Amino acid sequence: MDKIARRALLGMGAGAAAYLAHHALNQGSESSMAQERLAQAGRVINVYSARHYDTDKALYNGFTQQTGIRVNLIEAEADALIERIRSEGSRSPADVLITVDAGRLWRAQQAGILQPVQSRTLTSVVPANLREPQGHWFGLSRRVRVLIYDKSKVNPSQLSTYEDLANARWRGQVLTRTSTNVYSQSLTGSLLAIHGAPKTEQWARGLVQNFARSPQGNDTDQIRACAAGVGSVAIANHYYLARLIASNKPEDQEVANKVALFFPNQRDRGAHVNICGAGVVAGAPNRQAAIQFLEYLVSPKVQEMFAMANYEYPVRSGVPLHPIIQRFGNFRGQNVNAAVFGRNNAEALRIMDRAGWR
């Protein structure tokens, strides 16, 4: 059984368990019946979200205050939510799916659980490369895959591109997540779209040769390992460093002071940009309210809340950035459509497996 099949099986188990628990808790309760009546009247939308930020709840409360439509939030990991909606079928109460990484949104689309949406607001606000061409999903915020380097070991003039990390001069210095992580798959998928399979596999093999250790942990772990001298260059999403900088913990401040951020590929196509995004579920009981909710999430006020609360880059132009993010400076992002590297995730994983990226 390959890794994709194993991950789908695990997602199915988690999704089924989550569904049964949710069903048992609500079966026969008066509050559930009242909620169902409200949903039928279009005054409640069920949002299945893989974003686990307490600050997002303020966004949902704002939607209710603005529209009178209450948000019923169901949180779980992305694969579990996708499988839950799929298994619920036409009976699913889900109106909106929110998750991180275009790869997961692509999986949801391939599972047939998202429907195309036509919205002038969404298409005018969300850049074309940050939304699925037929409107199955839309980016809500941008996440940039950057290089974090040890300031005592690396001069930023030595850094240039993702491709250069496969150069032998970085032997034993590169830190990154496992190949099963969707962020790794999407980065590799974007390179696959640009260079094709043979060159991408050559790059992956070179990168594996340069690993400072076996891939492990999340992006924060890569940055901590970089600061600790395990390696000198880490691949991570930009906001993980921002969180360390903003932390009031002395140990986090120590890490943040030892490293700096570099935007790759600024002299050619730009840095790899991924998204947090959302789509309207195929059988959404409250389709119009769901679309209204997505439009609300790209409004100026909400986009600023994404930026200030979670150190993300907005998808809407002209929105102020968090001061920490401003300190990172301007960057050029690649124009590859997020749907492309989402679609490439499966082949990217096969390439990484052949290259020995575990």
Residue 239: give its domain's CATH number.
Answer: 3.40.190.10
Domains held by the chain: number: 2
Range from 27-41, 58-72, 143-157 carrying the lowest mean pLDDT: 27-41
Rounded to two decimals, the pTM is 0.86
332 within domain boundaries: no
Separation of alpha carbons 350 and 200, rounded Å:
11
333 within domain boundaries: no
Q: What's the pLDDT at 19? A: 34
Domain check: are 87 and 151 in the same one?
A: no
Domain check: are 226 and 309 in the same one?
A: no
Residue 240 annotated as lining a ligand binding site: yes
Domain check: are 55 and 134 in the same one?
A: yes
Domain check: are 149 and 251 in the same one?
A: yes
CA 201 to chain centre: 24
Domain check: are 10 and 100 in the same one?
A: yes
338 within domain boundaries: no
Per-residue pLDDT band for 42 (boundaries 50, 70, 90) equals low
pLDDT of residue 198 exceeding 90, the answer is yes
237 within domain boundaries: yes
Range from 22-31, 94-103, 284-293, 305-314 carrying the lowest mean pLDDT: 22-31
Residue 239 annotated as lining a ligand binding site: yes
Domain check: are 115 and 264 in the same one?
A: no
Domain check: are 227 and 351 in the same one?
A: yes
Residue 195 annotated as lining a ligand binding site: no
pLDDT of residue 7 exceeding 50, the answer is no
Per-residue pLDDT band for 37 (boundaries 50, 70, 90) equals very low
pLDDT of residue 29 exceeding 70, the answer is no
Per the prediction, the chain carries an average pLDDT of: 90
Domain check: are 190 and 222 in the same one?
A: yes
236 within domain boundaries: yes
Q: 235 has which bridge partners?
A: 147
Nearest to 36 by CA among 93, 86, 90: 93
Domain limits at 154?
A: 144-271+344-355
Domain check: are 87 and 51 in the same one?
A: yes
Range from 44-53, 114-123, 137-146 carrying the lowest mean pLDDT: 44-53
136 within domain boundaries: yes
pLDDT of residue 17 exceeding 80, the answer is no
For residue 9, the one-letter residue type is L
Positive or negative, the CA dihedral 305, 260, 181, 166 is: positive
3 state SS of 93: coil
Q: What's the pLDDT at 357? A: 97
235 within domain boundaries: yes
148 within domain boundaries: yes
Q: Which value, to the nearest 10 degrees, does the dihedral of the CA atoms of residues 302, 46, 137, 10 take?
A: 120
Domain check: are 207 and 351 in the same one?
A: yes
Q: What is the pLDDT of residues 240-264, one digit of tens each?
A: 999 999 999 999 999 999 999 999 9
Enter the DSSP assignment of 269. Answer: T
